A and B are shown apart, each in its own frame.
Chain A
Amino acid sequence: MPRSWATENKPHRFCPGCGHPLALKALGEAVDDLDIQGRVIFGCDIGCSLLAWDFFNLDSVQTHHGRTIPVMVGMKRARPGLICVAYMGDGGGYAIGAQHLVSAALRHEQITVLLANNSIYAMTGGQMAPTTLPGQKTETTPFGRDPEKTGRPTRGPEMARLLGGEGVYAARGTVANVRQLKNYVKKALRHQMEGRGFSFVEALSTCPTNWRTGAAETWEWVEKKMPAEFPLGEFGGDAPDGRASRPESVLREGGGEG
């Protein structure tokens, strides 16, 4: 267990098989490695990410749906010595709070966003998210997401890097590879600590509860299906051209219209 975790608040409140604890493990280990537990402020959103409000031995603030970014922006500007991390889901970052993500990237706000992409709204009971895969069945797309009607999945890190250019570090990892994810988070935190601008890491994550999948199918989904739509790797930072620098496990399987 990372040192920065609050052990007395474990076991955590997430469902069995949920990806959040793995993403939070990557964050916890990154904080430990960088030895910044006394400087990090952890902000979490609404959605399942809010269940992390007492997860760490970090000063933590749970805000509103989509509003964690502006809270951390205000905090960072008030006290630039703090290291501000905004943790949220895909709904918070790409739908209800998309304007804040876009503007934080454009303004090169010196905060780090860690976003769990599980392709669904989980806490509200399994509705379509901006990241829902084509063909994926949800409570609001019971016949599968139709890109003709509801568009293609949002690619956040690519967007942030495109918008913010050199001042943005953006990467996409996965809870299926916590070591790599931790490295991305560390790079993101360093980007903030060195005053280089906005940093953003998306973590592909799991939601067996709302996916209604068993263990094997859940891992199949996050290890193969999701990276086909959401390429893993870094965008910017080490890859100034803005493309993924080391696209790992790019398994193109098509849209999954079934």
Chain B
Amino acid sequence: MAITQQSPRPERVFWTGNEAVAWAAVAAGAEIMCGYPITPQNEIMHTWVRLAHQYGLDFLQTEDELSAGFATLGGVLAGKVAFTATAGPGTVLMQEPLSMAEMMRLPVVVVVCQRGGPSTGTVIYSQQEVMLACFGGNGEGLRVVYAPATHQELYDYTIKAFRVAWKYRFPTIVLSDGYQAKMREALTVYRVEDQVRGEAYVGRPGVPGVARPPAHLRNTYNLEEELYDLLANYTTAFQEIQPRVGEWQEEDWQGAELLVVAHGVVTRAARAAVRELRGEGYPVGYFRPVTLRPFPAEVLRRWASLGGTMLVVESAAGQLRRLVAEALAGYGFRLEGLLRPGVGITPEEIVAVARGLLAAN
């Protein structure tokens, strides 16, 4: 199959997030997408399939998300830059291929467009797939999870996801949501000069057993110790990438008595709220993990060691808060939550809750 790699020219566009993701995948050098329809992910497929036609890339609509995930892994094993996208109940099914990717260190990229849950929930929006993205599957959560907040970031981090996945060989997730998927806003798209190149796990040149040893790839182990040694290597490798891969954003957090913590699209409201409060003279700061895995715990610990109150704001009933609490176990600070599972959060709500907490201090 002749694959011609092209990328869009630098250009200001007014797109949906799903369009941004599909274009970013092309720009990054992705060659194959396998997917199964589920809202609010669909327009990633719709856009990709048209781009694939234009650029000589491949698309497969599978029978379910299990097949989408595993066929994507098949593409990766063959050495192609491959990805899939899903949401909600599809993210649940996607845990099985993600778990195999973790065990076999396969650089698959999965775009997750969070919708309301549990179960069928809504097709609209949530931040309830944080635990699934970070720790779903039977394993240790050896995944990189990016939580972009704007369309520009969706474009940038989708490209980065392919790069990081193939560099470190951990499955990588771009954690979008229904708002980001469907809304339109401006972003600048650009060409990527050094596109991501795949590397074949199987089917390299030469007859196996004659010209070279065969690739014998497995995810099953006979002995406890065999598995333990392997996972010790993997977890060490994952810890080692943390300083290079972990990302965060903060604003005015030095000396802040109240730190507002959010991720993904909610950071936009959190940051607006903090600016407003700051303008009124309140000692408020803002912190945002850009990577939910690996979680930028060290940075938060520096703040937490000074004490104070932390307000976690999320469209879930405490999934980010759980990550924060785990990262900061043992530190003396007050942990509060503005938790709105499955609904959007406005700057006004955050301002009101923050004011209440500051008044109580």
A–B contact with Cβ pairs below 8 Å: the answer is yes
Residues of chain A contacted by B96 (CB below 8 angstroms): 64, 67
Residues of chain A contacted by B63 (CB below 8 angstroms): 99-100, 102-103
**Complex CA–CA separation, A70 to B100 (angstroms):** 13
Task: Say yes or no for B223: interface residue by CB 8 A criterion.
Answer: no
Interchain nearest-CB distance for A229 vs B (Å):
28
Residues of chain A contacted by B72 (CB below 8 angstroms): 74
**Complex CA–CA separation, A79 to B208 (angstroms):** 17
**Complex CA–CA separation, A63 to B204 (angstroms):** 19
- Whether the Cβ atoms of A37 and B207 lie closer than 8 Å is yes
Task: Say yes or no for B297: interface residue by CB 8 A criterion.
Answer: no
Task: Say yes or no for A198: interface residue by CB 8 A criterion.
Answer: no
Q: How many residues of A contact B (CB 8 A)?
A: 38
Interchain nearest-CB distance for A55 vs B (Å):
9
Within 8 A of A (CB), among B272-292: none
Residues of chain A contacted by B220 (CB below 8 angstroms): 46, 50, 53, 62
Q: Of B66, B78, B218, which contacts A67 at CB under 8 A?
A: B66
- Whether the Cβ atoms of B202 and A59 lie closer than 8 Å is yes
Within 8 A of A (CB), among B230-259: none
Task: Say yes or no for B80: interface residue by CB 8 A criterion.
Answer: yes
Task: Say yes or no for B209: interface residue by CB 8 A criterion.
Answer: yes
- Whether the Cβ atoms of B216 and A75 lie closer than 8 Å is no
Interchain nearest-CB distance for A239 vs B (Å):
27
Residues of chain A contacted by B217 (CB below 8 angstroms): 53, 60-62
**Complex CA–CA separation, A103 to B71 (angstroms):** 13
The contact string, 1 if C-beta is below 8 Å from chain B, for chain A 74-114, is 11111111100000000000000001101100000000000
Within 8 A of B (CB), among A144-180: none
Residues of chain B contacted by A62 (CB below 8 angstroms): 217-220
**Complex CA–CA separation, A53 to B203 (angstroms):** 15
Residues of chain B contacted by A53 (CB below 8 angstroms): 216-218, 220
Task: Say yes or no for B308: interface residue by CB 8 A criterion.
Answer: no
Task: Say yes or no for A56: interface residue by CB 8 A criterion.
Answer: yes
**Complex CA–CA separation, A74 to B97 (angstroms):** 13
- Whether the Cβ atoms of B62 and A103 lie closer than 8 Å is yes
- Whether the Cβ atoms of A75 and B214 lie closer than 8 Å is no
Q: Kindly count the residue-residue contacts between A and B in the assembled complex, taking CB atoms under 8 Å apart.
A: 148
- Whether the Cβ atoms of A71 and B210 lie closer than 8 Å is no
**Complex CA–CA separation, A113 to B59 (angstroms):** 22
**Complex CA–CA separation, A140 to B78 (angstroms):** 39
Interchain nearest-CB distance for A35 vs B (Å):
10
Task: Say yes or no for B73: interface residue by CB 8 A criterion.
Answer: yes
Residues of chain A contacted by B206 (CB below 8 angstroms): 38
Say yes or no: A56-B214 contact (C-beta < 8 A), given A61-B202, A73-B60, A74-B32: yes
- Whether the Cβ atoms of B70 and A70 lie closer than 8 Å is yes
Say yes or no: A78-B78 contact (C-beta < 8 A), given A37-B207, A38-B207: yes
Residues of chain A contacted by B177 (CB below 8 angstroms): none
Residues of chain B contacted by A71 (CB below 8 angstroms): 70-71, 73-74, 77
Interchain nearest-CB distance for B48 vs A (Å):
14
Residues of chain B contacted by A207 (CB below 8 angstroms): none
Interchain nearest-CB distance for A75 vs B (Å):
4
> Which of A37, A67, A81, A82 counts the most chain B CB atoms within 10 A?
A67
**Complex CA–CA separation, A80 to B31 (angstroms):** 14
Residues of chain B contacted by A58 (CB below 8 angstroms): 208-209, 214
Give 21 pairs: A residue, B residue, CB < 8 Å, sorted on A.
A37-B208, A39-B203, A46-B220, A54-B216, A56-B209, A57-B209, A59-B202, A59-B215, A62-B219, A64-B70, A71-B73, A72-B74, A74-B72, A75-B74, A75-B202, A77-B32, A78-B32, A78-B58, A99-B63, A100-B63, A100-B67
- Contacts A50-B218, A53-B216, A71-B77 known; 17 new A-B pairs at CB < 8 A: A38-B206, A39-B203, A41-B202, A56-B214, A64-B219, A67-B66, A70-B62, A70-B67, A73-B71, A74-B70, A75-B77, A77-B32, A78-B32, A79-B80, A79-B203, A99-B67, A100-B66
**Interface on B for A, CB 8 Å cutoff?**
1, 31-32, 34, 58, 60, 62-64, 66-80, 82, 96-97, 100, 200-204, 206-211, 214-220
